[in-house]
Amino acid sequence: MIDFNTKILKIDPSTIIFDEKTNEVTFTDNETKKVLDEASKLLHESQVVAFPTETVYGLGASSLSSDAVKRIYAAKNRPADNPLISHISSINMIKDVFKTEIPEIYKPLLEKFWPGPLSIVLPVSNECSVSEVVTAGHNTFAVRFPKDKIARALIHISNLPLAAPSANASTKPSPTLASHVFEDLQGKIPLIIDGGQCNVGLESTVVDGTVNPPMLLRPGGISLEDIKKIGNGWENIVLGKKTAGQYEKVRTPGMKYKHYSPSAKVILFENFKDGNEAIIKYALENELDLKKIKFSVVTSKYWDKSVNDADVVIELGKSGDEIQRNLFAALRDSDSHKVDIIFVEGVSEEDEGLAIMNRLSKAASQIITKY
């Protein structure tokens, strides 16, 4: 692999203006256009570029080029049987670029949630131009129309659909700041576009309407409850498996292999409303002297920030939006303090909680549940 001198170029998203009727884009700052043109040139040279979306930072390459997409896998050290989501800048790209029709069941969902943090699974048509490296050999592929202005503008200017998993080293917490991307991928990619902190903080929700009943393959930025409210068949949506087997083929990222994990050991607590009680219980059962280790505590709805003997306490917030926005950054922040263990307060699995607990359960070395 080429050893790059990785550049970070900052863009103010307020300098990007979209005409929602024509999907044309204009800029109030020449520097913004200059950065996006540079990124577009790299993409057309089959290179990869990290860029912000409303969910997490993505590591993008042309969905139409197998050589380009292979560079994503190489930079992330990502298993090759893990499919990727393609990102578009208009719904028309599905028909015009991928030569694929949108099944009728998706239309009310897209009217409500696109552009936004929702990915849909589509059939691969005979004329579909998506790379087999993107689909990992499946007869389906996933597509998302991001809301983030920088992501949309980059796709629009390059006129390429972008395969873009999270821009982190494989297994590590997803990046919600450009600095997180640089920490993981410095020297492995040529360019990071810095658009500030991601608003949602967790990856997109992935749904499959090609099966009956439709299936939620990955919870994310759109809640299961919000999808069910759409009706038109979506009230019958069923949950897919949280984790796939070792030899099982998967249709969406995040169902296989270790994910979202910091270097420190993560202990996740369910149904404990008292942080001190939870941590002391764990320490006693594991014959652990808390004064002889360095640990952080990540709190959310109930735990008090004054946890006994904690070296670092990070508050995620009280609302579901705050918790999911700050989650991955908190895991990375804990690692930056070189702690041995991260004790995390779990949340209930309603609304945003389903996606939050999905990520935490995959990051955790151990889950302690109070019945």
Last residue of a domain, one of 178, 205, 239: 239
Question: Is 257 among the annotated ligand-binding positions?
Answer: no
Question: Is 260 among the annotated ligand-binding positions?
Answer: yes
Question: Is 332 among the annotated ligand-binding positions?
Answer: no
Amino acid present at 234? W
Number of domains within the chain: 2
Distances (CA, A) of 254 to 81, 136, 170, 202: 12, 14, 11, 12
The answer to whether residue 328 sits within a structural domain is yes
**Residue 196 belongs to what domain range?**
7-239
Domain shared by 171 and 307, yes or no: no
The answer to whether residue 259 sits within a structural domain is no
Domain shared by 215 and 273, yes or no: no
Q: Specify the pairing of strand 162-163 against strand 58-62.
A: antiparallel
Domain shared by 149 and 100, yes or no: yes
Domain shared by 207 and 283, yes or no: no
Structure confidence by residue, pLDDT tens digits, 308-330: 789 999 999 999 999 999 999 99
Question: Is 55 among the annotated ligand-binding positions?
Answer: yes
The answer to whether residue 26 sits within a structural domain is yes
CATH number at residue 38: 3.90.870.10
Question: Is 53 among the annotated ligand-binding positions?
Answer: no
Question: Is 144 among the annotated ligand-binding positions?
Answer: yes
CATH number at residue 317: 3.40.50.11030
The answer to whether residue 250 sits within a structural domain is no
Task: Report the candidate in 336, 262, 333, 273 with the shortest Cα–Cα distance to residue 299.
Answer: 273
Structure confidence by residue, pLDDT tens digits, 152-165: 999 999 999 999 99
Domain shared by 144 and 209, yes or no: yes
pTM: predicted TM-score of the whole model, two decimal places: 0.92
Is pLDDT at 192 greater than 60 in this prediction?
yes
Last residue of a domain, one of 239, 256, 288: 239
Question: Is 283 among the annotated ligand-binding positions?
Answer: no
**Secondary structure (3-state) at 266:** strand
Domain shared by 182 and 74, yes or no: yes
Task: Report the candidate in 331, 341, 339 with the shortest Cα–Cα distance to residue 365.
Answer: 341
Is pLDDT at 225 greater than 80 in this prediction?
yes
Question: Is 204 among the annotated ligand-binding positions?
Answer: yes
Domain shared by 173 and 114, yes or no: yes
Domain shared by 293 and 226, yes or no: no
The answer to whether residue 108 sits within a structural domain is yes
The answer to whether residue 251 sits within a structural domain is no
**Is the four-CA dihedral 64, 70, 71, 73 of positive or negative sign?**
positive
Structure confidence by residue, pLDDT tens digits, 54-112: 999 999 999 999 999 999 999 999 887 789 999 999 999 999 999 999 999 999 999 99
Question: Is 205 among the annotated ligand-binding positions?
Answer: no
Structure confidence by residue, pLDDT tens digits, 10-54: 999 999 999 988 888 999 999 999 999 999 999 999 999 999 999
Question: Is 166 among the annotated ligand-binding positions?
Answer: yes
Distance CA 210, CA 281 (A): 46
The answer to whether residue 246 sits within a structural domain is no
The answer to whether residue 303 sits within a structural domain is yes
Domain shared by 303 and 341, yes or no: yes
pLDDT at 305: 78
Distances (CA, A) of 328 to 126, 218, 237, 319, 323: 39, 17, 28, 16, 9
Domain shared by 235 and 293, yes or no: no
Helices 353-363/320-336 angle, 10° precision: 20
